[in-house]
Amino acid sequence: MQLAPLFPIFYRILQPSFPNCLWGGNPHTKAIALTFDDGPHPQYTPEVLAVLDRYNITASFFWLGVCVNRSPAIAKAVSDRGHWIGLHGYDHRSFPMLSLNELKGSLEKTQVAIYNACNLQPEQVRDVRPPNGLFTPATLKLFSQWNYRSVMWSVVPEDWVRPGITTVVERIMQQVKNGSLIVLHDGACGGQDVAATIQILIPQLLQQGYEFVTVDTLWQQAKTD
């Protein structure tokens, strides 16, 4: 069963319930964030970078520490281009399943991997997106105590089940609006199609007048909403 039709409903329920998370930017500004989870990947991430380079677009990447350790040169190539870097845990285990120490260790190990690959200090990498979108109020409270920022989503085309490039693009174009936070994947699940997807998607969004910004910019714009 594909969950894609349900994500907009989840969003409408969860967004007002957890206002301290970033669900999107300013609804009055035509700025959107393109984000990629589960990387870096040795093949798919360079393909994504090539498309982003072509259109001179800055995106945001939420990384798994294990993947950073496997592909440090690719991680550095992403960071060197000025893309925003966030945390997705060390190995994609759902955060509510982890003990407090396991969760803290998962995030800190990922920060260390990013520091080793990209020379970004831990305090520069404090945006966290939970794997599978699963969290509890206790999880979010811990993030706040540990000085992390919780980043969620507003447009989830479920690209990881590979419904087809055309379907993914259509789902995004139907849902996108001012301030949208779009989730795609450049990892093992869904990464096969991601470069071809954004090659079609980006020109359509540019044609509609959207500006691509980082998650950090959305945080700043959300504060001025």
Q: Which residues are catalytic?
A: 37, 185
Lookup: tokens for 137 = 């109020």
How far lies 183's CA from each of 23, 61, 97, 224, in Å?
Answer: 11, 10, 23, 23
What count of other Cβ atoms lies within 10 Å of the Cβ of residue 91?
13
| Residue 81, amino acid | R
CA angle (6, 27, 210) in 5-degree steps: 90
Residue 185: helix, strand or coil by DSSP? strand
DSSP conformation class of 22: B
As a whole number of angstroms, the distance between CA 26 and CA 215 comes to: 12
Tokens of 220: 């700043």
Give dist(CA 103, CA 107) in Å, integer. 6
